[in-house]
């Protein structure tokens, strides 16, 4: 099939090359895109939300990127990531309480018990939240709202050393 702009496609869908200039970024050099990664380790003391916005902000400042996209990945299946209010600690307590009611630690409910009675509920809580976040970086800063912070949500009862990968693509 032939599309209106003359390009051919076997599926019938037209294919059009989109350039940076076509997206409203005249003069943008695609070769100016840089990438950087950093493995951040966070020590938890058991269930709860652990803010690490400041550590991410410091790392971004060191990179010197002006604009881009930051990906944050939690490399675990029993902890997760959330963007949440960082002004009122009651928000954290309410979230923890809600997840405890939603996914109770009751050994009669689960088969997977090899790592303890809190492990399977932790996997479920992680599955219901996120293990990866994508955050725009604008003028060298994460484009978070006024009361937003980046948190590791520990779902296990005991303390753990958690690995969180930061990956920045930007200019």
Can you give the CATH number for the domain in which 107 is found? 2.60.120.460
How far apart are alpha carbons 145 and 63 in whole angstroms? 22
Does any domain span residue 45? yes
Neighbours of 128 (CB within 10 A): 12
- Residue 51's H or E segment, with its range, is strand 48-51
- Total structural domains within the chain: 1
Does any domain span residue 19? no
Does any domain span residue 96? yes
Does any domain span residue 40? yes
Q: Which residues pair with 38 in a beta bridge?
A: 166
Mean model confidence pLDDT for the chain:
87
Closest C-alpha to 50, from 160, 167, 138? 160
Closest C-alpha to 116, from 107, 126, 108? 107
DSSP 103: S
Does any domain span residue 65? yes
Over the stretch 71-127, which tens digit does the pLDDT of each residue have? 999 999 999 999 999 999 999 999 999 999 999 998 899 999 899 999 999 999 999
Task: State mean pLDDT over 129-142.
Answer: 97
Does any domain span residue 5? no
Over the stretch 120-135, which tens digit does the pLDDT of each residue have? 999 999 999 999 999 9
88 is in which domain, residue-wise?
Answer: 34-170
Two structure tokens written together for 145: 């709202």
Q: What is the pTM of this model?
A: 0.80
Neighbours of 18 (CB within 10 A): 8
Does any domain span residue 24? no
Cα 13 to Cα 16, 18, 22: the distances in Å are 10, 15, 20
Over the stretch 1-50, which tens digit does the pLDDT of each residue have? 444 444 444 444 444 443 444 444 555 555 678 999 999 999 999 999 99
């Amino acid at each position: 099939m032939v599309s209106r702009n003359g390009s051919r496609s076997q599926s019938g869908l037209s294919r059009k090359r989109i350039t940076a200039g076509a997206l409203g970024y005249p003069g943008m050099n695609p070769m100016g895109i840089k990438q950087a990664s950093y493995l951040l380790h966070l020590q938890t003391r058991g269930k709860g939300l652990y803010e690490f916005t400041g550590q991410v902000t410091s790392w971004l400042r060191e990179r010197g990127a002006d604009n881009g996209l930051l990906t944050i990945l939690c490399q675990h299946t029993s902890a997760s990531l959330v963007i949440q209010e960082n002004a009122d600690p009651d928000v954290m307590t309410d979230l923890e309480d809600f997840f405890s009611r939603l996914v109770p630690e009751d050994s009669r409910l689960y088969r997977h018990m090899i790592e303890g009675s809190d492990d399977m509920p932790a996997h479920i809580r992680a599955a219901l939240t996120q293990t990866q976040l994508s955050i725009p970086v604008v003028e060298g800063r994460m484009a978070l709202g006024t009361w937003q912070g980046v948190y590791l949500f520990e779902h296990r009862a005991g303390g753990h050393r958690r690995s969180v990968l930061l990956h920045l693509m930007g200019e």
